[in-house]
Each structure stands twice: as structure tokens, then as C-alpha cells.
Structure 1
């Protein structure tokens, strides 16, 4: 029985030792868990700080990129507007030159028409005068006057043809330059 008690006492001591060991291990695990939690908390804080820093850096990069892009776009828009204004001014000048050229050509055509009409009238008067003179002096050298009349008519026809060609040529050039935007052509 003493042995039994000794064994029980020994078992009790062993159990107490084992229990103490387990308590120590639990305390160590709790301490390690607390340390791990602190480390995890510190790591989370550092990660959050890094994330905030990265977000701030990213936002700053985006803002800088946006600012740079906006400045470049505004510069390009300004250049395009200047180019457009320059082209519009150039078109205005060309339009003004075209209008002036049309006016000059119309003036030239009118001048040539007036010359044509004046020469035609002069030739008609000369023909009429020659006819009157030829009828008055029909008995005296009617052949000479007929010849002269024929020469005057031929010269008149030649001048009329020349003037018609000149007018047609000027009209054609005017139509080519203006794109044929005027009314119907006058026929001579």
C-alpha cells in the first residue's frame, strides 16, 4: 500500500509537472500569439501605409500626366486654331484676288465689245458711204468703186471675224477662270 501510495504520489507529481509544463507551453503559445498579433498588426499598419503612399504617388502621377496632357492638348488646339485662322485669311485673300480678276476680265470683255461695236459701226458707215459714192459715180469707173467696195467689205469682214475670235477667246478665258458662273454667252 505504501508502494501504491508512493506510486500515486509519484503519478500525482508527474501529473503536476506535466500540468505545469503544459501551462508553461500554453503561456508561451499565448505570448507567441500576442507577439505574432503585434507583428501582424505592425505588418498591416506598414502595408496600409505603403498602400496609402502608393495611392498618393499614383494620384500624383495621374495628376501630373493629366496636367501635361491638358497642356499639350491646349497647345495643339492653339496651333490648330492659328493654322485655321491663317488658312481662312489666305482663302479670303484668294477670294478677293479672284473677285478682282473677274472684274478685270469683265471690264476687258466690255472694252473689246465696245471696240467691236465701234469698228462695226465705222465699217458699216464706210460701206454705206462707199455704196452711195458708187451709185453716184456709177457711170464713171464703176468697176474701180466696186473693187474698192469689195476690198472695204473684205477688210470689214476680216476685222469682224478677228474681233469675234478675240471676244470668244476672252469669254472662254473668263469662263474658265470663273468656272462658268455667269449667264448665257452672248453670240456675235
Structure 2
């Protein structure tokens, strides 16, 4: 009997997380409300709170899942690419494509702020590290003389530059740039960052 209860509990948690992710994808982070998620998951509000202590914890779980999906997309797109500069270009383009395909979930990663003095869960931090390590691995090949601290800074700089371009593009601020032109400009920025 305990095994069955555990299985049912895990299934409920999965349904709640899936419902929250769907709400975020469809309507954005502000729409992720406990009652709406419970309704979509086919469970009670109390069941949501049994698995997630509050809305923040639920959003972090959704965001961790989004980070994992982005990392999977980047990993698959860059698999087998030996040249590190080419790999970085592919990572940048794939990041843009993912953000364009699931904009609300992507925005949720950066729109959510925890209340003061509340620490981000370790698993979420690890998802960020795993994602950034894809960039760091390529940069380490391009600049083998960088020490660990320098590589960490360069990795964040590269991510910040790409993220900024993606943000501006998704806000429609790159007027008259077609997708292929935007990809080309991202390649240009990657080349300059890595030269």
C-alpha cells in the first residue's frame, strides 16, 4: 500500500507541475496561480500545497524544468560539433530558437524573483550551472590560458551578450531583421567575443 500511495503522490506532483508549465507557456508567469494550476491538474488546492509549499516553489520547479529543456535542446544541437567557435554559434542560435518557440516559459526564467533572504534551491542553481557549462566548455577550448575565475566571468559575459540579443529580438526591437539576419548577427557577436 505505501508503494501505491507514493506512486499516486508522484503522479499528482507530475500533473501539477505539467499544469503549471502549461499555464506559463500559454499565458505567462503572472497566470501561474495555485487555484488555476489545481483546476488544470484535476486536483485540490490542498494537493498542490502538499507538493509545493507556495507559488514561488512551484514557479521555481517550472523554471528548473525549462532550464533542463533548454540545456537538452542546446546539447542535442551542438552534439558532434568539434570546432568550439562553431559550437558556440550553434548554442547561440539554438537558444534564440528555443526562446522564440516557448517565449512565455523562457521569460518566466528571468521574471521570477524570490522574496528577500530566500535562497534559490540548490537543484535550480545546478540547472543553471549545467546550462552555462556548455558555453564554458567551448570557451575553455578557445582560450586555454583562462584560469577558472576568468573562464567563469567570460562564460557569463557570453551568455549575457546572447541573452541580450535574444531579449531585444523577442521584444521586436530589431526592426527589419529577418530570422536569418539575426542569426548572422549573433554569429558576428560570438566571433567578436571569442577573438
Q: TM-score range by the shorter chain?
A: under 0.3
TM-score, normalised by the number of residues in structure 1: 0.20
Tell me which structure has the larger Cα radius of gyration. 1
* TM superposition score normalised by structure 2: 0.19
